[in-house]
Structure 1
């Protein structure tokens, strides 16, 4: 089971996702930022952190897994417990890479450290927004050149041109003032017209006499066969096999009868998997904590 995928899905919608018995992944929103050294603009985003004190089962993750895999809540809880046991065992020897989330490791005090992946933005409102760079504008350099040009031209021009320039400046200011007043009046009139049009649009009722027919798409999800089985036992009486199946299901396993072997015994499995890697991982956990005689059967 790819537990990290379910955690990642929930982080887009919730600020905290708790893995029962392990810890909680918490997200906090930060505003857009600017790096003045690299001239990089970053959109608003969520940053992730890990809190090992949040271990109580709030039902969020288990319910989501149960709905996604079409299993019971108890079975989802059992799958989470098995995965947590695997994580805790792996952390003693190596770091754990959680896809699209980050890296987990242990320090010298056996406390869990978390390094989030910064390339994933879990803020839904920033979907599609990316970082971008903009070259810096060196205003002081251009201002210095403009000042030099103005000083040179002023020194070269005769005195009567200075007076003419002053008169032209007054005339320009007067014309700009008149244009400014005229533009304000035009803008006020345009805003009033826009309000009238918006009000009419809001009051209008649009009726489509010949709407398009509804389209229903039936999508069939093709699942890979589960041919790797973790065997819990083989029984001469089918009734005993059924009792074992019910016993394992009460403990949260997806147990089932997978057939009769060549000796005529009915085989019962803890669970079945699509890949050998996943089956071997859970087999090791079951052997350590539940049944030492469990074994892998490929059908």
Structure 2
């Protein structure tokens, strides 16, 4: 009967202490892949044993008393008988099996050892998840690899061609290169001739043959009886063509334009002086000094009890990690309770979560029945 209650408590708690025997601690194990069997195992819990956790936290005894509707003294007697039976078997047979949990043995140094037996998955999040078996996936060749293989096959096929085809292909390539070289050398030698126009090679020039022929007979030299004019003869000829009256009229027309320009310049100077005479306005700008406002920080509530203070706490559970204890504490605070975390003491490794604290143990025991409706019969009072 005690074994059944121990296993049920391992589903919901991280640590279950068997008084005067030791504590069973659960540990989270992530999902696993077996590359040999090609199986996928869901996340689970593994159980370890610590023989130093012998202090009675009241969890196992309270659970047995509540489910069997007996007193705590009777439940404590059942646990004591179970521990006595386990120790007697270990001394006689050097073996004690906790059904569907594990096997206890003594080592050569007379130390109690525990071997976990994999049975039911104790993790609630993996409820109903079986172990899956998957077939191996065959890796297909990617598209790039297939393309490279195809190109190599084509190259090998070309290498296997007869010698005559390969010589013919090499001959065609050599002939093309020779023709390209001859054409390039011909153009180079034609460009070296000064009296030869390379633009005549343009086929479009054939449509404009009449125009090119008419421009072919350009006069490149002076006539036989031509004598160039001197500088004095050229200036005398220009004076005879341009009379003096025309130059005078042009000068008179330019004068009024110059007068208008001078008037505009004078007006611009007067405007500049007017702007310069104006005095800038000197205005003093006074900055307003704002007094800093002091922020008043609210007083944060005490959520973690680190040292003994003489108060009595109503404990709803003990947890081996701070993460699990913090989750339970936050849920309790959301429900409206003044939940706090009590750090492990000198002989304990559990993080305990309380929902209320009182000045004396009598007040805590008188109020514990009010919290059993919400948290069950497994809660207890801790004098800290």
TM-score band, normalised by the shorter chain? 0.3 to 0.5
- Which of the two has higher C-alpha Rg? 2
Q: What is the TM-score with the length of structure 2 in the denominator? A: 0.37
Q: What is the TM-score with the length of structure 1 in the denominator? A: 0.48
Higher strand proportion: 1
